[in-house]
Chains A and B, each alone.
Chain A
């Protein structure tokens, strides 16, 4: 066993897992607060990455201005989607709402194809290019710096949820909507906030992932990979999203390195199947018992 190789592979996997965790966080925040499974999360990521391309590539703004602009653009998109397309569906069957999110995904793909064409794209380089070494272990610079940026946002989010009024309102609404409403929390606003914050996390992850793997209108498929993460971690668990994101990222990478790239996805789906059998509500998800 080449432990140096294993260490480098593991490091790459954990760093990629950090980005999965960030996407999963966006997914879970929306589900936790609004009970909407957002199948358009990958396309929101894609849209933000295209915005970055427009700002940094088309308008030639500094990447460090383009990045926040793209992320804010993605989060505004999330807020607009909630207000104009999801809110009118309140009270409708969950399947109908899911179908709306699938429709939104399709519209976003069509929109980027119209504006930016279907050509594959690369984002302008904005992360340092010098190799990163942690002790003797090599880590690709884009992955390393992408992980650091993502981790910084995660920390900001965790602090926000813990200490701010908005964060408390979000947690209260996620915990019990009726009780939150009776205590004077503007639940509709919280729903909107959840979409804005969830989309913001996804947008940042979108730019960082696209910076590594390229961008095309099919980019949103990555959202399906993250569906595995949130089901394994628990659809309504932020801790689950973080732990499962890092774990699935590591597992995918190690399976790819030792078994071959064709085993990346099967390895994660084996874990998914096992978790669904043992804990259908995910590793950290809420085990809801319905009494009739």
Chain B
């Protein structure tokens, strides 16, 4: 174990030196063109560091990879970031600093709070397109957030995909019912109203809503409430791990045959690693193919090769890594389209280029061609945990919302 600790310590120390250096620059390339800068407020420490470390690795590896491919239309790419500890004020400060010194074309925001806080400044600057860790439904409002997009489905769209899957499981007109369990946070509440509306449209009854306070909590009282309504499905949102495990274990102890589902941040391998056999059967909606899935494609293969090259000992790469990679991939596509059209690289032109994405082949990152709608990619697939195999396996086709 101590060897593990030392190993983790060395990795963290390595990350620390990256943070100290502040920039991950392109390898020296014989290119005369101006570099294009990807900026980022990255949560390498604090409450979101468990994902931030992998998001950062995905962004870093993509930058290395795209530079190895000749950059974007011959422009080398620089990735400039600062650690924010997932605090909005530090994210804002990092944005101002990086914007002032490096003029980033695109920027990674680490939280919904930051992306909302920075919106008016971003709009007035008109130079930078932003996406990031947030899948908040609010960001699909093009009037208020014209230069921000979601690198996948919004949380409401994730609920839409989950509910479509649930509706497809109804047999002989007997529609399953569902309970929503979410944390008492902005994150947790995000898709609930839209989820209820979509459930009503599909004829799915929402038999219970459970709100839990954030943090380490006992949920046995909430489990008792669910026992009384016996939902066919429970959909969790606003969590990463706990208390999903307690709901699942206690409800199964009570003999309920409820199925459990969750959204992006609670659909990584962490659930399997920490819950073990108890995770079996848990389902998540995921817009990207998992690192260890049997799917392949030129970009997914490139991602795996680059990940292996940058850290051969890392093994499985979490969904945060793929999310970071995909963000940078979309930025590249948008910048390329803008440059190819002979337009200036500003926020308006990049937003227009993003909106023009239709039936885009992501090279296996997403399993079907995708079309941007309301600054998001409303696509996903339902995956189920096979605890014995230690991974998620697809149980639905790709679902692209209209």
User: Chain A residues near B184 (CB, 8 Å)?
Assistant: 261-262
A122–B216 touching, CB < 8 Å: no
Pick the contact of A213: B215, B240, B250, B275 (CB < 8 A).
B215
Query: Bound complex: CA of A253 vs CA of B1, how far in Å?
Result: 38
A139 with B220: CB separation less than 8 A: yes
Contact A214 B245 (CB under 8 A): yes
CB contacts under 8 Å to B, within A213-228, are 213-219, 221-222
Docked-complex contact B1 and A12, CB < 8 angstroms: no
- Judged by a CB distance under 8 angstroms, whether B223 is at the interface is yes
Chain B residue nearest to A19 in the complex (CB): B218
* Cβ-closest chain B residue relative to A210: B216
State whether A9 and B254 are in contact (beta carbons under 8 Å apart), knowing that A119-B50, A122-B245, A261-B213 are contacts in the complex.
no
Q: How far is the CA of A36 from the CA of B64 in the complex (A)?
A: 53
Please choose the segment from B5-13, B302-310, B327-335 that sits at the chain A interface, where 4 or more of its residues have CB less than 8 A away.
B5-13
Flag whether B19 is at the interface (Cβ < 8 A).
no
Interface bits A132-172 vs B (CB < 8 Å: 1, else 0): 00000011111100000000000000000000000000000
Interface check B241, CB cutoff 8 A: yes
Indicate if the CB atoms of A131 and B243 lie closer than 8 Å. Answer: no
**Cα–Cα distance between A210 and B184 once the two chains are bound (Å):** 20
Among A16, A122, A222, A253, residue most surrounded by chain B Cβ atoms (within 10 Å): A122
Chain A residue with minimal CB distance to B274? A122
Q: How large is the interface on B (under 10, 10 to 19, 20 to 34, 35 or more residues)?
A: 35 or more
Contact: B212 with A261, CB < 8 Å? yes
Contact B49–A118 (Cβ < 8 Å):
yes
* Residue A198 is within 8 A (CB to CB) of chain B in the complex: no
- Nearest opposing residue in chain A for B49, CB measure: A118
B246 partner, pick from A121, A212, A264, beta carbons under 8 A: A212
Q: Is the CB of B220 within 8 A of A219?
A: no
Q: Name the B residues within 8 Å of A1 (CB-CB).
A: none
Contact of A118 among B46, B218, B253 (CB under 8 A): B46
Given A58-B1, A58-B4, A222-B215: A120 in contact with B254 (beta carbons within 8 A)? no
Q: Which of B213, B215, B220, B240 contacts A12 (CB 8 A)?
A: B220
Cβ of B217 within 8 Å of any chain A Cβ, yes or no, is yes
Taking a contact as CB atoms under 8 Å apart, the answer to whether A118 and B50 are in contact is yes
Q: Closest residue to B318 on the A side, CB-wise? A: A119
Complex contact A120–B46 (CB within 8 A)? no
Q: Give chain B interface residues in 268-291, CB to chain A under 8 Å.
A: 270, 274-275
Interface size class of A (residues with CB under 8 A): 35 or more
Q: A114 with B9: in contact, given A122-B245, A213-B242 (CB under 8 Å)?
A: yes
Return the chain A residue nearest B252 by Cβ.
A129
Kindly state the separation between the CA atoms of A139 and B47 in the bound complex, as whole angstroms.
32
Contact B9 A214 (CB under 8 A): no
Question: Do A140 and B220 form a contact, CB below 8 Å, given A120-B270, A131-B254, A222-B215?
Answer: yes
Distance in angstroms between the alpha carbons of A5 and B221 in the assembled complex: 9
On whether A214 and B250 interact (CB within 8 A), knowing A120-B274, A257-B221, A261-B213, the answer reads no
The smallest C-beta distance from B49 to any residue of chain A, in angstroms, reads 4
Contacts of A119 on B, CB cut-off 8 Å? 50, 270
How many whole Å from B90's CB to the nearest CB in chain A? 15
Distance between A54 CB and nearest chain B CB, rounded to angstroms: 7
Q: Is the CB of B1 within 8 A of A54?
A: yes
Q: Which residue of A lies closest to B48 (CB)?
A: A118
CB distance from A174 to the nearest CB of B (A): 30
Among A115, A120, A261, contact of B241 (Cβ-Cβ < 8 Å):
A120
A230-289 interface with B by 8 A CB criterion: 253-254, 256-257, 260-262, 264-265
B4 touches A218 (CB 8 A): no
A59 within 8 A of B: yes
Interface residues as binary, A2-18 with B (CB distance below 8 Å gives 1, 0 otherwise)? 00010011001100100
Q: B87 to nearest A CB, angstroms? A: 13
A36 to B216, CA, bound (A): 26
Task: Choose among B49, B210, B216 the residue that contacts A113 (Cβ–Cβ < 8 A).
Answer: B49
Q: Which residues of B contact A217 (CB under 8 A)?
A: 47
A227 CB, min distance to chain B CBs, angstroms? 14
Q: What separation, in Å, do the CA atoms of A131 and B255 have in the docked complex?
A: 10
Report B-chain residues with C-beta under 8 Å of the C-beta of A77: none
Task: Tell me the complex Cα distance, A141–B252, Å.
Answer: 13
**CB nearest to B219 among chain A residues:** A213
Any chain B CB within 8 A of the CB of A44? Answer: no
- B216–A219 touching, CB < 8 Å: yes
Q: Are B270 and A214 in contact (CB under 8 A)?
A: no
Say yes or no: B12 contacts A215, CB within 8 Å: no
A54 to B289, CA, bound (A): 33
Tell me whether A140 and B216 are in contact (CB under 8 A). no
Complex alpha-carbon distance, A210 and B218, angstroms: 9
A129 to B251, CA, bound (A): 12
- Nearest B residue to A122 via CB reads B274
Report the Cα distance A119→B265, complex, angstroms. Answer: 12
Q: 17 extra interchain contacts, Cβ-Cβ under 8 A, other than A260-B209, A261-B212, A261-B213?
A: A5-B224, A12-B218, A59-B1, A119-B50, A120-B242, A138-B224, A140-B250, A140-B253, A141-B253, A210-B216, A213-B216, A213-B219, A214-B241, A214-B246, A219-B215, A253-B221, A256-B222
Chain B residues packing against A (C-beta within 8 Å): 1, 4-5, 8-9, 12, 45-50, 53, 184, 209-213, 215-225, 227-228, 240-243, 245-246, 249-250, 253-254, 270, 274-275
Q: Supply 22 A–B pairs (Cβ within 8 Å), ascending by A.
A: A5-B228, A12-B224, A16-B218, A114-B9, A115-B5, A118-B45, A120-B241, A130-B253, A143-B218, A143-B220, A209-B216, A212-B218, A213-B216, A213-B246, A214-B246, A222-B215, A222-B216, A253-B218, A254-B221, A261-B184, A261-B212, A262-B213
| Chain A residues packing against B (C-beta within 8 Å) | 5, 8-9, 12-13, 16, 54, 58-59, 113-115, 117-122, 129-131, 138-143, 209-210, 212-219, 221-222, 253-254, 256-257, 260-262, 264-265
